[in-house]
Amino acid sequence: MAPKIPNVFFKNGTPVPVLGLGTWNSPPGQVTQAVQDAIDVGYRHIDCAHVYENEHEVGAGIGAKIAQGNVKREDLFVTSKLWNTYHRPDLVKGALQVTLRNLNLKYLDLYLIHWPVAYREGDVLFPLRPDGKRVHFSDADYVDTWPAMEQLVDAGLVRNIGLSNFNAKQVQRILNVARIAPVTNQIECHPYLHQASLGEFCRAQGITITAYSPLGSPARPWVKQDDPILMEDPVVKKLAQKHSKSPAQVLIRYQLQLGNVVIPKSVSKQRIASNADVFGFELDTADMQQLAALERNGRICPESFSFGHPHHPFEEEFRKGRR
């Protein structure tokens, strides 16, 4: 049995389990079981998104555990995300209602704008241009999307709202118009990509960082043969040996000690349990420094489909990298 997962608190006082189950890129047919296994070993925080196309399976897993009496709805913290084709304010509520239907829930604990970039409206998730490399853009601006997100809170359909993959300038633009402030910015975070200045900026504004891909997302669909594998990094392996832990446990512990909420993904019951067994050891200052020194701006989720979009959050850094 994994140790009880502690809560941290958003600025508005809402408790959120500091460790959650990520469901991105989880193979179809395995997600329902993964969610049930996660709840069995003590997870109470499940991270989903419309674009993952598996929310109906997540909902089946949650529903099964509630029906069995293992857990009540109010014990769970369920997150989902507004996809890029629904940024136009009049589409936001309908997009949420699809997610709620798929999850078979009456409300979400947290709803995020998944990316600051808007795609051409419609049900095609990636409305590709003829070149097949980029999507058709929409001119919807996320600052106009935000009031529609706030209305979901007013309606009791969503308890908290936040952002994902927003850079510091974009977070500030939201804060400039927000009646209800974003509680979190969910961003890619691991020793090859710390996003330290963005993290500092968000924390200074009372916005929690939620770290996705903390293990370096080794199974991402676009991985190349020569890409470095974070969990096989000699420093990570050495620290795992030192603490008699797995590389994954060291990487998850690292995010926790940085003060981040963390959402590793797995569909294996053994690894789901192991990923939660990170509260009985501590990385010392030297360990933390060694992991910090692995920084290489190694972004693995660049959202290259939307390069050229005026609201692309990272394109500038890619241009600098190409010089």
DSSP assignment of 266-296: ---HHHHHHHH--SS----HHHHHHHHTT--
Residue 11, in any domain of the structure: no
Write down the catalytic residue from 43, 52, 212, 254.
Answer: 52
Residue 57, in any domain of the structure: yes
Domain hosting 193: range is 17-320
Residue 8, in any domain of the structure: no
Residue 7, in any domain of the structure: no
Residue 34, in any domain of the structure: yes
Residue 1, in any domain of the structure: no
Residue 255, in any domain of the structure: yes
Kindly indicate the confidence band of residue 138, based on its pLDDT and cuts at 50, 70 and 90. very high
pLDDT beyond 50 at 57: yes
Residue with more model confidence, 47 or 322: 47
Check the annotation: does 87 bind a ligand: no
Tokens 């510091």, residue located: 168
144-169 pLDDT tens trace: 999 999 999 999 999 999 999 999 99
Residue 12, in any domain of the structure: no
Q: What is the CATH number of the domain that holds 174?
A: 3.20.20.100
What pLDDT is attached to residue 3?
64
Domains in the chain, number:
1
Q: How many Cβ atoms sit within 10 Å of the Cβ of residue 290? A: 16
Residue 192 bears catalytic tag: no
